[in-house]
Structure formats: structure tokens, C-alpha cells
Structure 1
Amino acid sequence: MKRVLLFLATNLAVVLVLSVVTSLLGVNRWLTANGLNYQALLVFCAVFGFGGAFISLAMSKMVAKWSTGAQILKEPRNSSEMWLLQTVERQARAAGIGMPEVAVYDAPEPNAFATGMSRNNALVAVSTGLLRSMSQDEVEAVLGHEISHVANGDMVTLTLIQGVVNTFVMFLARVIGYAIDQALFRRNSDENSGPGIGYMFTVMILELLFGILASMIVAWFSRQREFRADAGGAHLAGKRKMIAALQRLKAVHEPSTLPANMMAMGISGGQLAKLFSTHPPLEVRIEALQKVQVA
């Protein structure tokens, strides 16, 4: 679950920073010099909306490592790490992707995540709690689930969707912010003076609010991709193993200790409200997987 919320949090921060920088550089004044230029504004929002999303994607591995304290396994120190590396390598080869970086992070709950900018530049990380509480068959299935996320290009697709969402969030925030500024703060003595300071603060607040609401769209998309990743994990590790892994996760009731901005990127569900949940309920996933025909 960590993959998505980390991306969302990073994206929201990047978009807000870009908004402040462009305001300080006078871009807003240029866009509203002769009234609101909707075409120029839409192009501007698309460039920065998609730019913010792809910057977030490029930062995803670095932020994931920093947020969890994940340690990259370069050389196996024991048989468990050797098995982990060999399993990921075998599954990556079967899925037709490059060997991802493999990492372990210290956390008591069973969890795992995959992130990265492309199919051949990814990171797969598992928690120490997952390695302790699951059998090798179950861990293999979890790894297959995460490798499937990478092979399916979920992070890139998510980035494109986030770019579209960012574009409309930025566009609507500025249109509404301009209307509020003209209605409440406009200076009649100088009609061409551009938006006032009220415009900048209104846009920032609206971007934050719209960005949070837009996260529901991205979360919905994430929930749909989980079913496909479960099917991919069943293909790579075996349907029985994938179902057993989900059942094991369902039986675990430990509260998550992941950072709040990482809750949407791992294998197990979080405590977010239903509309913001990035994963379907485990019982729904198990039921859907039982109906999947695996070759």
C-alpha cells in the first residue's frame, strides 16, 4: 500500500511548491494581465500538472528508502537474503522486467511495496515483519504481487492519471481563485494590476482542498490495479500461495507502523476512509482471486 500514498503525498507537496514558485515569479500576473486567459492557463496547468506528477515518480524510490529506512540488499549475508534475491530475480525474468533493487526495512507488520520510474528501474522492499510471520510460499506470492505491479506499469499509469488530475486541480483552483479575488479584493483604481495577494492564498488553499478530493480518483484507480496484481502474483507464484498470503494478512490485526505518507504503497490495507483507501478489502480480493483462472 505504501506505493500510492507516498506518491500522492509527494505529488501534492511538489504541486504546492511549484504553485508558490510560479506565483513569486509573476506567472499568475502574466496569465491574468488582460483578464483570465483560459487557453494559456490550461496549457500552463498541464505542463506543471504533469511535470509535478513525473517529478514525484522520479523521486519515488529515494523517498521510499528514506521514509522506511529500507536497506538495499547488494550482497546476501545469509540464506534468507539469498533466497529473497533469487526469488525476485526469477520472478522478474518471468515477468519480462529488469532486476529491481531488493530491500528490507524494519517494521513489525507484514508489508511490502514496489515503486520506481520504470519497469527496468524499480525497487521491491519487504518488511522484517513479513519475513518473520509468513512462510516462504506466502512471501513468494507477496513478491509476485509486487513484481506484477512493476510489470503492469502501474506507477507510470498512476503518474499519467495524476497528471490529468493535477491539471484540473490547478486549473479550477486558479479560475475560482481569480473569481474570488475579483469579487472581494479587486482594486478598481487599477484594473490591469493583476491579481492581488488574496488570489495567491486562495489558489493555494483551493489546490490543497481539490488535491485531497482528487486523491479519491487515484485511490479508486489503485484499488482496481490490486486485483490485477493479485492475479499476476498467482501467475508467478501460484494461486494457492497467493490466496494463502492474503488470508495470512487478513488474520493479522497489528496496527501499521508505517509513516502516514507510506500507507498506500504496501500489500496490506490501511485505516483510511473507504473512499481514500488504496486497497480493496482483503476478503473481496480473496473472493476475486478464487474466480481467476491461472494457467
Structure 2
Amino acid sequence: MDFFTAQDNARRKTGRLVVLLVAAVIALIAMTTLAITIVVYFMSNHQGEVTADSLLAGLSPELVGAVAVGVVALVVTGGLYKRYQLRRGGGRVVAEALGGREIPPNTDNPSERRILNVVEEMAIASGMPVPPVYLLDETGINAFAAGFDTRDAVIGITQGAIDHLSRDELQGVVAHEFSHILHGDMRLNMRLISVLHGILLIGLLGYILLRSTAHRGRSVRSNNQNGKGAVVVLALGAALAVIGYSGTFFGNWIKAAVSRQREYLADASAVQYTRNPAGIGHALIKIGSHAQGARLEASQASEYSHLYFGQGMKLGFNRLLATHPPLNKRIRRVMPNWNGQFDAAFSAPAADDMASNAAPSAKGVAGPGVAQASAVMSGASAKAAIASMGQPGPRHLVEARSTLAKLPSRLRQAAQDPYAVRALMYGLLLSSDTHVRKRQLESLQQAALPDVYRAVMSLAGEVLMLKASLRLPLVELALPALKNLSTDQALHFRQCMKRLIEADGQVSLFEWTLYHWLVHHMGLASNDRGQGVRKLKDSQSECQVLLNVLASAGQDDLAEISAALNAAEQELPFALSAENSSSDIRALGQAVSRLRHLPPRQKPALLQAMARCIEHSGQIKPAEAELFRATADMLDCPVPPLLIE
């Protein structure tokens, strides 16, 4: 399944989820109305036999309407509150609720360094920013991805997984979780959490009524009238508790049904990414042979059960609520020749496997399709990268490992340090022109912290010598450390970047891309969620702005720019004006923000048009390739590295 089809399917599943939610709420309204009618019936001192006719006679439009409004208000308010809570913190909220702690990007713990290296490689191979990694102090072998999109995504991993899985097996597990991120499953899972929280509130209300009645036990015994009222409240609380938890049961059943099939797809994607069925297959075998399996002991583990790599909750007799397919079926799908035995011999990583915890070495990582310094990329490279969106292959992993090995160790360490990372980003914005750079540094010295400024001066020479093709991977690597900045630090960081960019009175394409990419992924951009879904045919002006900028990248010849636009418009449902080909970099931000709201199935045409702009001359320079990928990422279209074809 390609990236855009998967994204579109995830949106459709969200619509079906809303239908199922409406049906569940209607059922809850009916059951709650019946329960309250019975309570009102007895509270009215009705004498005589209780019959269906007498209960129906007690129903009134006012009662049904009041109950319906109350139930809907409770479910919607609870769901919206949970959604706000999750939206505010993204995947970090889930990781911290499960007792996770973020692994510092600059950790020197060998096992933690190993999992960070695996996540970094997979992120760069996928074309998305490196997500923060959280470690759960759990002995079970499990992992998860949480967040609404690549901006707030996190990867969670248990201590049991780190202790018992080899590097290849960790890579298979991480590839599985990246599939959930790239194919829209992660966002759907987060929405499921909000929906079920709203339904759960009815049961919680009943539980509160039961507790309040228990605290008034003496009054019940001493006063008949109060006693009768307490009994009624007790009955209402018990009814609401049963109704609420019944609703939760069916909500969990819906959650499990939605989740199971997606796990098969994510397993298949992990095999496709790594071309190593044994990696994920042996990880699943180890879960089966491990005493704790994949079970988590955190108090809130059940709320997030559909996010996990393995079945995180003990099922007992109730297989209907299984959020994951049986282990043996999952293993058979990726390893058809498996002998059916959960062999305990696979209980620990090989002794020499821990050697892979260090940063990847450049030795032995180059292979077919990996970009070399003297090589150039063609238009076929861009087309192949677009076709690989959401499904990077082994060649992309090799390229990612090679890229990480090429990064100067000093710069890589700075990217992983919460303090030095700011100096590194400032260094990337320094101009190669001596006079402009002098003005930039004078402006920065007035605004930056003294220690950060000294770090800029220390790193500047090495940053200025960095190859253009390594700049975006370095920034992707720096994102977890940048996300650890406090709100005040992040705002100050953004202000300092502005000063560096504005020092010469003009904005280059790289400056615009770096600034807006960081603002986008650090959550500092203005909220554009209210703009609604747009159609490509109605986005001519935005496409003109974006493609003008890309066509002008790396060249000034008007005839060449016009030729690039003519090539791009072959992919679009409208013409581009060659006469209106001036590059307006300052209008680009608003254009990209609006184009982000295109439906998934309409974005491929835009990406192909962007690719035409940068490859119309027959080759793509590394700098053009990275700028194309960064802009595409801001359109929520993570493009893997472009390879030599």
C-alpha cells in the first residue's frame, strides 16, 4: 500500500469510527433513559405491580431529551478534554502516563545509545525528523509510537526489549512502529483514546454516585426518607456504572477490531523496510518465550493497549478485546517456515551485538544506490524517492547509516546536546560571505546567551565546511534536543534565528527552509488547523508561489526558470504563469501552510511537480535534493533520501 493510499484509508477509518461512536452513544442514551425512568418511577412512590406499560407511561419527551443532552454532553466533553490534553503534549503525554522517561540524546549508556542509533537511522531513511525516544521501566518486551503527526511523535521502548532484543530485532520493532507513524495509524490510535475516554466517563459518574452513597451510610439507617433517597441514588449509580462499563467494553471491542488488522500491515511494512523477516520474526518469538511476554504493569497500560507492538494486557478468557493478532499468526506471516516453537534460546542478544551501540562507522556501509560525493542524481532519483514514501527500503537504511557516519563527530555530539544544539543551528545560518557573516555575528552577540555565542564561534568553521547534503540530516538529528528547550528558551531561539536571517536584508531559500522547518516541528508555528481541506484545482496561486521558489533554486537564468515551470505544470490541473515567475520567498510560508491541507490523494501531483522543478536540467544537486525534501516534509509528505539510480 502506498503512502497516500494509507493516509487516505486512515482518514476513512476515522469516519467509520465516528459512525460507530454515534451508534454507541445512541445505545448509551437508550440504556441511561431506561435506568433513570425506573429510578423516577420508584421515587414517585408508585404503588402496585411494575409492568412495561407502566414504565413506558413514565417516559416523556422532556425526560428523553434531558437524558440525551446529558449523555452527549458528558461523552463529548470528556472526549474533547482528553483530545485537548493529548494535543497539547502529543506523544509525550502517553509516554509519561506509562511511566516513561526520555532517553537523553547525548546518553553514554551503551544499551540506550544502541536504540537511539536504530531510531535515528530509521528516521533519516524515512525522511522524517528523529522522534524523541522514551524508556519504560518494564520487564516485558514491547514498544509503541504515539502522537498525532511527525511533529509530536515519540517512540517508546521497554527495558525488557532493550535487554533481550538484538540490534536486528530492535530494527524490526522500530520499523514496525515507524509504519504506524507514516501510514496514519498513530493518529487514528490517538483519536480512539479520546473517544473511549468520553464513553468511560458515564461509568465513572456511576462510580462517584456509589461512593457518595457509601459515605452517607449512617444517614440511611437513621432517616427513612433520606434512606429511601440514598437507595435510589445507589441504584442510579449502580445502573450508570454498569451502563458506562458496558459502553467501555464495546468501545474496547471497537478499538481492538480497528487495531488488529493494522498490526499485520505494520509487520509486513517492517519486513519491506529492512528486507529482514528474521528481525521482526525473532522479536515476536522472544515475546512468546519470555516469562513476562509483552505485558505492561503501568496503571494506565490498558488505556493505551492498542498502541503497543505486542499484546500489552493479559486477556484471560476474553479474546474479543485482543488488540493484536495471536503471536503465532503474526510470526507465520513474516516467517512461513517457522517451526512453531517459542525457543528460549533467543532470550538475549548475541555477545558481539552490543558493539553496534556506537555511532555507525563509514566502513562497509556504502553500497549500490548510495550517493557518493562526486555523483549526481537524476529525475529518476526524485521519482523513486516519491514512490518510496512511507515504505523506505534497505538502500535507504544503508544511505541513512552512511550519512550518519559522514557527519563530523563534533557536530553530531553538538546536535545531541541540549545546550550546544542552539549554537549548531545558528552556525548553519551563517553566511559564507565574510562581511555578511560579520554583521550576523554582531547581531547574534547582542541577543544570544554568552555561552551559546562562544559555542557558535567554536563550531562555525566546521559548520561552514559541512557539505550541503549533510545539513538536513544534521538538523533532523538535532530535533529531539531542540524539543527539550523550555517555552521561553524556544521563543528566544526563534528570535535569534530571525536576527541572523535578517542581518543582510534578504532571505535565502536555505534560511527560509531551516527556519520554517524548525518552527514547524518545534510546535512554534501559528495554528492553521481551522483552514479546512483544500483541493488542488483551487490552489493555483499557492502552487505558483511554491514552484517559483523551487524553480529558482540554484539558478538565475529566466529561460531555465521558465522551462522548469513548464515541466512542472504538466503534473498539475492548471497552467503556471511563466510571466509571474519571480521568486517570493516571504509568501512561501503561507502557501505551504495552505497546501498542507490538500487531501492525501491530491498531494502526489504536487510532489511530482516539485520534482520536475529541481530536475528539469537533467540532474539534481545534493543541496536541491535536501531543500526539496525539507519543503515536502512541511507538506506532511516525508520523502526518503534521493539515491543514485
TM-score by length of structure 2 reads 0.33
Deviations 1:189-219 (A, max 9, x none): xxxxxxx968973445422321123211101
Q: State the match for 2:62 in structure 1.
A: 34
Q: Which runs of 5+ in 1 are unaligned?
A: 1-31, 175-195
1:271 maps to what in 2?
314
Matched residue, 1:261: 300
Structure-2 change in CA distance of 1:37 and 1:218 (3 Å): same
Aligned to 2:570: none
Residue 243 of structure 1 aligns with which residue?
281
Q: CA RMSD in A?
A: 3.6
Larger mean Cα displacement after TM superposition, 34-43 or 63-72 = 34-43
Aligned to 1:224: 261
2:145 aligned partner: 114
Q: Distance in 1 between the 2:268 and 2:119 partners? A: 17
The residue aligned with 1:185 is none
Q: Whole-Å Cα distance in 1 between the matches of residues 148 and 165 of structure 2?
A: 29
AA aligned to 2:62 is: N
Q: Tell me, which stretches of 5 or more residues in structure 2 are unaligned?
A: 1-59, 206-231, 337-391, 394-645
Counterpart check, 1:134 vs 2:165: yes
CA 1:164–1:132: 2 relative to 1, 3 Å: closer
Stretch deviating more after TM superposition (196-205 or 227-236): 196-205
> 1:124 maps to what in 2?
155
Q: C-alpha displacement at 1:54, in angstroms?
A: 1.7
Please say if residues 53 and 159 of structure 1, whose CA atoms lie closer than 8 Å, have aligned partners that are also in contact: no
1:287 aligns with 2:324: no
**CA-to-aligned-CA distance 1:214-244 (integer Å, 9 cap, x gap):** 2111012111211122122222333322222
Whole-Å Cα distance in 2 between the matches of residues 40 and 96 of structure 1?
46
Higher relative contact order, chain-length normalized (CA < 8 Å, sep 6+): 1
Q: Which residue of 2 is the match for residue 6 of structure 1?
A: none
**8 Å CA contact retained: 2:124, 2:130:** yes
> Are 2:87 and 1:48 equivalent residues in the alignment?
no
| Structure 2 CA distance for aligned equivalents of residues 215 and 131 of structure 1 | 29
Please give the alpha-carbon distance, in whole angstroms, between the structure 1 residues aligned to 2:131 and 2:171.
Answer: 15
Greater Cα offset, 77-86 or 229-238: 77-86
* Cα deviations by residue, 1:67-105 (Å, 9 ceiling, x for unpaired): 334343231214443332232122123334332111223
Residue 232 of structure 1 aligns to which amino acid in structure 2?
S
Q: Compute the displacement of 1:62 (Å).
A: 2.4
Aligned CA distance change for structure 1 residues 41 and 95 (closer, same or farther; 3 Å): farther
Please tell me whether the aligned partners of residues 169 and 280 of structure 2 are also in contact (alpha carbons under 8 angstroms). yes
1: CA distance, partners of 2:93 / 2:197: 22
Q: Counterpart of 1:271 in structure 2: which amino acid? A: K
Question: Does structure 2 conserve the Cα–Cα contact (< 8 Å) formed by 1:57 and 1:155?
Answer: no
Alpha carbons 1:99, 1:120 under 8 Å: kept: no
**Letter of the structure 2 residue corresponding to residue 284 of structure 1:** K
**Identity rate, percent:** 25
Greater Rg over alpha carbons, structure: 2
Partner of 1:81: 112
1:48–1:155 distance in 2 versus 1, CA, 3 Å: farther
1:7-26 equivalence runs, <5 A: none
- What TM-score does the superposition give when structure 1 sets the normalisation length? 0.66
Deviations for 1:116-156, whole angstroms, at most 9, x for unmatched residues?
Answer: 23232112122222122111111111111122222222232
Q: CA deviation at 1:37?
A: 2.9
**Alignment: residue pair count:** 241
1:157 aligns with 2:188: yes
Segment of structure 1 superposing worse, 133-142 or 237-246: 237-246
Amino acid at match of 1:126: I
The C-alpha deviation readout for 1:145-177, integer Å capped at 9, x for no partner, is: 122222222232134456666778889xx9xxx
Q: Does 1:252 align with 2:252?
A: no
- Contact 1:113 1:125 (C-alpha < 8 Å) held by counterparts: yes
Amino acid at match of 1:267: F
